[in-house]
């Protein structure tokens, strides 16, 4: 069992009647606010107006950065940082999903960085020393960025998607009703992202976790398996949306793990797909995960894969070890591709093998290997990509 | 489903090789330290010397308050507060179990209070406005005080045991090896306390919790059921001690619940037992809980009691509702009184009925009723006490 440090400073307001606290929280940090959001869906659902009303009540001076992309670009982050520096912004208010929040995290750090390109902070050319505080209003259950320290940013000039760690948001507002309008496709993709965080960070790893935490991870996974199909079918089911929303915040949260110790293998492989083809992150993870598990399945890995099948997917415990593990992978595939109706192949997304070699190499950079459940070389990663075609 | 606010600022160092960070954490808060501890068991296990070495490394000026009682007295808290005021203490370092940490929480608040009696803060005559920061080094898995905002203090002059809320400790060091020397009796009592927090706060309540959280609560309960007997039998089993230690910190932690909404019924009844007879808190809870469940068992409460039996205690799911609920209560009794060898009756602890009437009245104060799973009047509480004789 590993030693670990747990600390999470994010204050969470959870529920359907909490946004009226936003003006108080804004006021704690200052008067000048940069409102960061995406393509305008927050206007369609009326959330923009509610947020603006709270900002007025706080007496805030508001600047806006709209149009954050689904895989947020470093150029957009730089734009935000320029506004912060010029206008002496006190606090960032990110209203949206993981991409918007990740962009805000990039801006928060870049705003306090002497250089003028956030990509320096990704590559290590520059270092994060200080950052602006962030408040989030979440609109999709998926990335866990609302309580997590990390951010991932895309550089479309170099086809790179990478990130850095900072602080988790100071305050996050999680209102399940703000996810009622999330499409069936994005709900399914987000659900795959939630599950993948648990798989990738610790559940499918060499060391596993403290027994209690492994059991808790299984309950969070079961929560997704139970409620994602309900949310897909009945988008305004509060119970389903609430459970998915809190599951997402738990899935990438230090309190679910006893420390991190492996590369997040599927995430590393998926980041290359998003960087080259700008696909939906969670969908890429759904396609990759069953193939990855099939590729690494051996006598040593089979017990935890079978256990996942039995405890989470309802696989028959009496099956022999390898059969049970295969049944677990089949059940996961059926969940993603039949129950949640996600397309199962990269070719369905217009991706062919032309970039697999370079993507595999980049996924394994800088050490040339992805350490974890089973260590993967670029050759292994390329083989997994091919299995997804 | 209830709206809720989650915030927990405690930084946790978990594991067997973490105490070397103590001097850094002390230094974050200042130079003058009040070291608070109990009866000296921390000297027997060598922890005192290790802590002193860290304090030296921090260059701290150290004052001591030793001899904190198992149910910490308000007079002891007042002593600590006097030292803090006189010596201008910067930070409290509580080394011990829940009683020592609760005493430190009382001192932290009383040190910043104008009056000279912490009992004013319990009764509401005075108010907590500010407090000193607290660092804890935990030595028993039980109360969860190491990550919780509450403290409970005893006034032996008035036979009262009550408390108030403040902030959770700034930093807590959780090293399972520091609990290797905890006796079988205290391990069993602590385990009953852990389970009772989950029962009392939400699991056995009218509203229950968000589905995901109810499932997670069951896993924490199962963790105790699995590991408490191992720790009782093999006190230096690291895996068992670690799981129990983290289970305790989870059991009284906001992230396990979607808000609080009921009186913690068994705790309210037990506080009177401790206040009048100074018994071990967890043992009192173990005696009360199965009788309380038996007393309130009806068609409405049976489903969650049976569910507990099936999901946590291994009760046969095919049993009819009321039989299943009764089997669940029997299984819990067998766990406390057979597996963990706790004495099952108040009379075994030298307690008779002479104070039941006044204790029942005090347990239901100030409103004359304990709201919750089933609302209880003093008459009900007295009946439950009698069932425990």
With residue A189 as reference, give the H or E element that holds it. Answer: helix A184-198
The residues facing A317 across adjacent strands are none
Whether residue B16 lies within 8 A of chain A, CB to CB, comes out as: yes
Asked if residue B174 is part of any domain, the answer here is yes
pLDDT of residue B254: 87
Which whole number is the average pLDDT over A205-228? 94
Kindly report, residue by residue over A109-129, the tens digit of the pLDDT.
999 999 999 999 999 999 988
Residue B6 resides in a domain:
no
The C-alpha atoms of residue A206 and residue A336 are separated, in whole angstroms, by 25
Nearest-angstrom CA–CA distance, A324 and A341: 24
Q: Which residues, in sequence order, are CB contacts of A177 under 8 Å at separation 6+?
A: A16, A236, A238, A241
> Of B151-160, B218-227, B316-325, where does mean pLDDT reach its minimum?
B151-160
Residue A313 is inside which H or E element, if any?
helix A302-313
End-to-end CA distance of chain A: 38
Residue A108 lies in a domain: yes
The per-residue pLDDT for B259 is 79
CB A158 within 8 A of CB A111: no
Average pLDDT on B101-107 reads 97
A339 secondary structure, DSSP code: I
A246 touches chain B (CB under 8 A): yes
Last residue of a domain, one of A146, A162, A178: A178
Please indicate, yes or no, whether residues B232 and B98 belong to a single structural domain of this protein: no
Strand segments (E) across A10-146: 11-14, 32-37, 61-65, 91-96, 134-138
User: Per DSSP, which regions of B144-209 are E strands?
Assistant: 150-155, 160-165, 171-174
H/E stretch holding A160: strand A160-165
Give the gyration radius of chain B's Cα atoms: 20
pLDDT value at position A287?
A: 98
**Do A101 and A94 contact (CB within 8 A), yes or no?**
yes
Helix (H, G, I), strand (E, B) or coil at B20: helix
- The angle at the Cα of B344, spanning B342 to B347, to the nearest 5 degrees, equals 120
d(CA B82, CA B85): 5
Chain A residues with beta carbon closer than 8 angstroms to that of B222 = 215
Nearest to A210 among B1, B11, B246 (CB): B246
Closest CA to B20 of B147, B173, B213: B173
Establish if A211 touches chain B: CB-CB under 8 angstroms.
yes
CB within 8 Å of B41: residues ≥ 6 apart: B96, B139, B181
Q: Cβ of B255 under 8 Å from any chain A Cβ?
A: yes
The answer to whether residues A103 and A207 belong to one domain is no
Could you tell me if A271 and A122 are in contact, meaning their C-beta atoms sit under 8 angstroms apart?
A: no
Contact A7 B2 (CB under 8 A): no
Are A211 and A115 part of one and the same domain? Answer: no
A1 CB neighbours in chain B (<8 A) are 15, 238-239, 242
Task: Count CA within 13 A, CB hemisphere, residue B274.
Answer: 25
Same domain, A111 and A134: yes
Lowest mean per-residue pLDDT among A98-102, A326-330, B125-129: B125-129
**Helical (H) or strand (E) element with B120:** helix B119-123
CA distance B162 to B154: 6
CB distance A287 to A272 below 8 Å: no
pLDDT tens per residue across span B176-215: 999 999 999 999 999 999 999 999 999 998 888 899 999 9
> What is the residue-averaged pLDDT of chain A?
95
Percent of chain B scoring above 70 in pLDDT? 99
CA-based nearest residue to B65, from B55, B52, B76: B76
Same domain as A191, residue A112: no
Of B14, B15, B219, the CB nearest to A215: B219
pLDDT at position A19 over 70: yes
State whether A192 and A174 are in the same domain. Answer: no
* Chain B residues near residue A170 by CB distance under 8 angstroms: none
Query: Domain end: A178, A208, A224, which one?
Result: A178
DSSP state of B349: G
**Half-sphere exposure of residue A273: CA atoms within 13 angstroms, side-chain side:** 30
Helix/strand/coil percentages in chain A, nearest 5: 55, 10, 35
pLDDT tier, B25 (very low <50, low <70, confident <90, very high otherwise): very high
Q: Does the ipTM exceed 0.95?
A: no
The whole-angstrom distance between A216's CA and the closest CA on chain B is 6
Residues B81 and B368: their CA atoms lie apart, in Å, by 33
**Domain contains A6:** no
- In chain B, which residues have their Cβ closer than 8 Å to the Cβ of A222? 215
Distance CA B200, CA B194 (A): 10
State how far the Cα of A79 lies from the Cα of A232, in Å rounded to an integer.
35
Structure tokens at A35: 């409102």
Q: Which of B291, B192, B284, B191 is nearest to B240 (CA)?
A: B191
Q: What is the pLDDT of residues B301-314, one digit of tens each?
A: 999 999 999 999 99
Residue A104 included in any domain: yes
- Contact assignment for A11 to B11 by CB distance below 8 Å: no
pLDDT at A143 over 80: yes
Kind plus residue range of the DSSP H or E element containing B246? helix B238-251
Say whether B14 and A219 touch across the interface (CB within 8 A).
no
* Mean pLDDT, residues B53-59: 98
CATH code, B110: 3.40.50.1970
Chain A contact present for B230, CB below 8 A = no
Phi, psi of B206 (to 5 degrees): -65, -40
- Claim to verify: residue A311 and residue A171 sit in the same structural domain: no
- Coil, helix or strand at residue A182: coil
Is pLDDT above 80 for A262? no
- Alpha-carbon gap: B354 to the closest alpha carbon of chain A (Å): 43
Question: How confident is the model at residue B261, as a pLDDT?
Answer: 66
- Position A305 scores a pLDDT of 98
Residues from chain A that touch B212, judged by Cβ atoms under 8 A, are 219-220, 223, 243, 246-247, 250
* Per-residue model confidence (pLDDT) at position A263: 76
For residues B389 and A252, give the distance between their C-alpha atoms in angstroms, rounded to a whole number. 48
User: Averaged over A63-81, what is the pLDDT?
Assistant: 96
Cα B231 off chain centre by? 18
Q: How far apart are CA B9 and CA B170, in angstroms?
A: 7
Q: Is residue B34 part of a domain?
A: yes
The reply to whether B140 and B169 lie within a common domain is yes
Same domain, B132 and B168: yes
Report the mean per-residue pLDDT for chain B. 95
Chain segment B211-269, per-residue pLDDT in tens? 999 999 999 999 999 999 999 999 999 999 999 999 999 999 888 988 766 778 999 99
pLDDT score of A261 = 66
Single out the residue in B178, B204, B220 at which a domain terminates: B178
**Chain A partners of B238 at a C-beta cutoff of 8 Å?**
1
Query: Is B2 inside any structural domain?
Result: no
Residue A104 and residue A109: Cα distance in Å, rounded? Answer: 9
The bridge status of strand B160-165 relative to strand B150-155 is antiparallel
Smallest CA–CA distance, residue B373 to chain A, in Å, is: 22
Interface of A with B in 171-210 (CB under 8 A): 210
Cβ–Cβ below 8 Å for B1 and A242: yes
Indicate the range of A200-214, A238-252, B132-146 predicted with least confidence: A200-214
Q: How many residues does chain B have?
A: 389
* Interchain CB contact of B239 with A (< 8 Å): yes
Q: What is the percentage of chain A residues whose pLDDT exceeds 90? A: 88
Whether residue B112 has pLDDT greater than 80? yes
Burial class (CB within 10 angstroms; exposed 0-12, middle 13-18, buried 19+) of A338? exposed
Distance (Å) of CA A279 to CA A73, A103, A164, B116: 14, 17, 21, 65
Nearest CA in chain B to A243: B212
Number of domains, chain B: 2
Tokens of A353: 């093998």
B15 touches chain A (CB under 8 A): yes
- B245 vs B138: CA distance, rounded Å: 9
The reply to whether A244 and A112 lie within a common domain is no
Q: Is residue A2 part of a domain?
A: no
The rounded distance, in Å, linking the Cα atoms of A322 and A185 is 32
B93 and B222 in a single domain? The answer is: no
Confirm or reject contact between B44 and chain A (CB < 8 A): no
Nearest chain A Cα to B254, which residue? Answer: A12
Give the Cα separation of A262 and B101 in Å (integer): 36
Domain shared by B353 and B285, yes or no:
yes
Pick among A212, A241, A246, A250 to test the B interface (most B CBs inside 10 A):
A212
- Contacts with B6 from chain A: Cβ below 8 Å: 11-12, 14
Parent domain of A249: 183-387
Give the residue-averaged pLDDT of A137-143: 96
The reply to whether omega before A366 is within 30° of 0 (cis) is yes
Res B331 pLDDT > 90: yes
Q: What is the pLDDT of residue B233?
A: 98
Cα–Cα distance for residue pair B327/B306, rounded to 1 Å? 8
Measure the CA–CA gap between A307 and A23, rounded to whole angstroms.
46
Q: Do B216 and A211 touch (CB under 8 A)?
A: no
The distance of A211 to chain B (nearest Cα, Å) reads 7
Reported as a pLDDT band with limits 50, 70 and 90, residue A313 is very high
User: What count of CB pairs under 8 Å joins A to B?
Assistant: 99
SS3 label, residue A326: helix
Average pLDDT on A79-99 reads 97
Report yes or no: A158 and A73 within 8 Å, Cβ to Cβ: no
Cα torsion angle, A121, A126, A132, A133, sign: positive
Smallest Cβ–Cβ distance between A246 and the set B11, B16, B210 belongs to B210
What CATH number should be reported for the domain holding residue A358? Answer: 1.20.1090.10
Omega within 30 of 0 (cis) for the link into B366? yes
Write down the pLDDT at residue A8. 92
Q: How many whole angstroms separate alpha carbon A100 and alpha carbon A114?
A: 23
The rounded distance, in Å, linking the Cα atoms of A23 and B216 is 33
């Amino acid at each position: 069992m590993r030693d670990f440090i747990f600390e999470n400073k994010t204050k969470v307001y959870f529920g359907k009647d909490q946004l009226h606290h936003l003006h108080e929280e804004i006021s704690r940090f200052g008067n000048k606010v940069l409102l960061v959001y995406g393509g305008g869906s927050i206007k369609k659902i009326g959330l923009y107006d509610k947020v603006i009303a709270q900002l007025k009540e706080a007496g805030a001076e508001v600047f806006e950065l709209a149009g954050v992309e689904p895989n947020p670009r470093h150029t957009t982050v730089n734009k935000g940082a320029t506004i912060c520096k010029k206008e002496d912004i006190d606090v960032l208010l990110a209203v949206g999903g993981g991409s918007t929040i990740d962009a805000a995290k990039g801006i928060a750090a870049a705003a306090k960085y002497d250089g003028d390109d956030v990509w320096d902070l990704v590559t290590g050319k520059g270092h994060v020393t200080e950052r602006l505080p962030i408040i989030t209003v979440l609109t999709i259950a998926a990335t866990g960025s609302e309580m997590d320290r990390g951010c991932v940013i895309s550089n479309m000039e170099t086809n790179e998607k990478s990130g850095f760690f900072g602080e988790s948001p100071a305050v996050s507002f999680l209102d399940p009703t703000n996810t009622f309008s999330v499409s069936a496709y994005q709900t399914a993709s987000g659900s795959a992202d939630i599950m993948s965080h648990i798989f990738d960070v610790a559940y499918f790893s060499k060391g596993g976790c403290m027994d209690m935490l492994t059991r808790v991870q299984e309950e969070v996974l079961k929560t997704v398996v139970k409620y994602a199909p309900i949310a897909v079918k009945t988008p305004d089911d509060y119970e389903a949306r609430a459970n998915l929303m809190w599951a997402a915040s738990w899935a990438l949260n230090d309190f679910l793990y006893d420390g991190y110790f492996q590369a997040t293998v599927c995430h590393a492989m998926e980041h290359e797909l998003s960087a080259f083809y700008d696909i939906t992150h969670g969908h890429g993870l759904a396609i990759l995960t069953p193939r990855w598990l099939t590729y690494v399945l051996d006598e040593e890995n089979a017990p935890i894969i079978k256990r996942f099948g039995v405890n989470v997917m309802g696989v028959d415990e009496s099956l022999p070890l390898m059969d049970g593990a295969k049944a677990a992978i089949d059940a996961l595939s059926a969940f993603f591709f039949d129950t949640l109706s996600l397309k199962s192949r990269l070719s369905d997304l217009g991706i062919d093998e032309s970039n697999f070699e370079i993507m595999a190499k980049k996924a394994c950079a800088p050490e040339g290997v992805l350490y974890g459940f089973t260590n993967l070389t670029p050759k292994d990663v390329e083989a997994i990509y091919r299995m997804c075609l």
